[in-house]
Amino acid sequence: MSTQPTNRRLTLTALSRKKAAEEPITMLTAYDATFACRIDAAGIDCILVGDSLGNVIQGQRSTLPVSIDDMVYHTQAVSRGVEHAFLIADMPFMSYRDNVTAANSAQRLMAVGGAEMVKLEGGQPVLQQVRFLTDQGVPVCGHLGLTPQHVHRLGGYRVQGRDQRVREQIIKDAQDLQQAGALMLVLECVPVGLAAEITKQLRIPVIGIGAGPKVDGQVLVLYDILGLTVGHVPKFSMNFLVDGRDISAALSAYAEAVRNRTFPAPEHVFD
């Protein structure tokens, strides 16, 4: 299957069609114009300007120190390198603590940064903000499972949803986020069966990271697929910069592996 970009900008409508057609959606993070341009040229469907920049760019221990100013700056940079991919930006820690703050943050990320969708973490506590942003015409992506902004409350970077109570809560949160107006959902570090169940229940695209192959698409941190990870390498990741590939070939290999459903493989998933 070709990974070459089309001549038109990808839209939410096109992403929804991919879900309906069971055509896997590809997504990677980016933090600057140069990498964004390379990712775009590889035909990746979506680019996420992740608050993971706190870890991989700033050298922080978590995403918590990342500010809205940081996110706007990096989203602007990425947007300059994108012609085809759909551009999503993370709302950083405490930048959506209430409706007014959420609206101000979304306005900056979209009107100034150039994002086409904003992503926020959590379920029940953020439903009001999701409804409010949706009513203002802001496309929202939810994020459930392992939510890095809640790392201290979760007790570390752990798989979520193995306990029946937590599993049921994640399912309910996913349904409620869709009902509140979210148009996409990221599931991070959850058992493969839970991810498959949620994907089947929801109308909106479900993108996995450590959620197995039975979702609508995959996202990984750019630096992880290029073998640049410092310290612990996530189980759900894979180095595509091998076998003599250059960066462009590695990006295309990732896109092909997702679209051919050879990634994630069994060794990348959680039971």
Q: Which positions are annotated as active-site residues?
A: 188
Q: Give 110-114's long-range contacts (Cβ < 8 A, gap of 24+).
A: 110/138, 112/72, 112/76, 113/49, 113/71, 113/72, 113/75, 113/76, 113/79, 113/89, 114/75, 114/76, 114/78, 114/79, 114/80, 114/87
DSSP labels for 228-250? ---SPPPTT----S-TT--HHHH
What's the CA gap between 46 and 43, in Å, rounded? 9
Instruction: For tokens 């839970």, name the residue.
Output: 194
What's the CA gap between 229 and 21, in Å, rounded? 34
Question: 84, 10 in Cβ contact below 8 A?
Answer: yes
Burial code (b: 16+ CB inside 10 Å, e: under 16) for 36-65 equals bbbbbbbbbbbbbbbbbbbbbeeeeebbbe
What's the CA gap between 39 and 36, in Å, rounded? 5
Which is nearest to 236 in space by CA: 129, 146, 143?
146
